Amino acid sequence: MTKLELRHQVGQLLIMGFDGIEMSSKLRTQITTLQPGGVILFRRNIEQAQQTYALVRECRRLMQTPSYLCVDLEGGTVDRLRDVVAPAPAMADVVATRQKKLVRKHGRILAEECRTFGFNVDFAPTLDLALEASRSVLTTRTISRDPKQTVMYARELLKGLKDGGVIGCGKHFPGLGEANLDTHHSLPSIKKTWGKLWKEDLAPYRDMRKELPFVMVAHAAFPDITKDDTPASVSKKWITDILKKRIGYKGLIISDDLEMGGVQSAMPIEEASVETIRAGADIYLICHNEEFIWRSYEKILTTAEKDKKFARLVTDASNRILAMKKKQRKILAATSKAPTAKSLDKLRRKIWEFTEEIRLSADAVRQG
């Protein structure tokens, strides 16, 4: 695993999404050729329980190294499995109970959902602060406007995910709490001083730097810090100088989806894929477009072949990924049986009962 040739090192740096609900010949060729470090599924890929399980299993089979099998599963508005299982509560609703044990239980239930279909990575929790500027964008995905509260409950969710054999991810560094634009479509420019960012938005990453397996970097500009409109996801200042050196984070760093408008407005996707690695990210995420995936992969490969300094960055990132996968080998090697009508009904009941427990507990808090 530690002596991959360059083209497979480049593959390790990619987590890719795709169209369709089954393994097509084109997708099989793409995964077999690129050998990505992982895949991510969305609601467009998830139609039925057995179909989803089979698709994840086939993706895993085609990858020669242990694979990150990823999904966005927060509950509430971000819940890719709601249609094949049941809607899970939003993080804000769970936190409204003010009970750490229920947040941890939330994590365990999300992990059980993931594992039912073969996923081993859940891109949660959201560490963005619940500030007024982003309320219409982030809605119920955030934990609190208070960094200490955010850390306390995020820790419990991560523990719950880990209890269930699933790897979590803190997002969206440096923080989208002050972003009034959706990074899926636009590049927010957040004008906030270094002192306030360090005390507020960066506090979860500082306090949890040894606990987060992944940190996902946002497509947002912070002109007071970088002196320009460079998205954090392609900024060496943010990724290497601040996240790695100043904060001391040693886990894996992943860009948010490079197809999103927040970074596409700044540069073409091929350039973004190179620049996020050059900035210090280990993994770049491209969630949909087949052509974008091929073009970005080829751009990173040809750049590494021509530029020895960049090639070292690729090799170092690949080695970090493989070393982390070795530490996580039990989670990545774990498999589950195909879901049945009986096992799905049991899981649905668990989610429904948990949702009712959350409602009653939150009502009790509101009533004093």
Q: Which residue has the tokens 């999300």?
A: 110
> Residue 217 phi/psi, 5° resolution?
-100, 135
Q: Give the separation between CA 228 and CA 322, rounded to whole angstroms.
A: 34
Q: Give the separation between CA 14 and CA 254, rounded to whole angstroms.
A: 9
What is the enclosing helix (H) or strand (E) of 121? strand 121-122
Q: Give the separation between CA 266 and CA 128, rounded to whole angstroms.
A: 22
Amino acid occupying residue 368: G
What is the enclosing helix (H) or strand (E) of 235? none
Taking the CA atoms of residue 72, residue 260, residue 64 and residue 169 in that order, the dihedral angle to the nearest 10 degrees is -40
| CA-to-CA dists, residue 84 to 52, 156, 229, angstroms | 9, 26, 41
Which pair of structure tokens corresponds to residue 124?
């949660």
Which pair of structure tokens corresponds to residue 134?
């982003």
Q: Give the separation between CA 78 and CA 92, rounded to whole angstroms.
A: 12
- Of the candidates 227, 247, 298, the residue with the CA atom closest to the CA atom of residue 269: 298
CB 262 within 8 A of CB 292: no
Which pair of structure tokens corresponds to residue 181?
């634009």
- Of the candidates 149, 166, 187, the residue with the CA atom closest to the CA atom of residue 71: 166
DSSP 125-191: -B-----GGGHHHHGGG---SSHHHHHHHHHHHHHHHHHTT-B-EEEEET--TT--S-TTT---B--
Name the residues annotated as catalytic.
184, 256
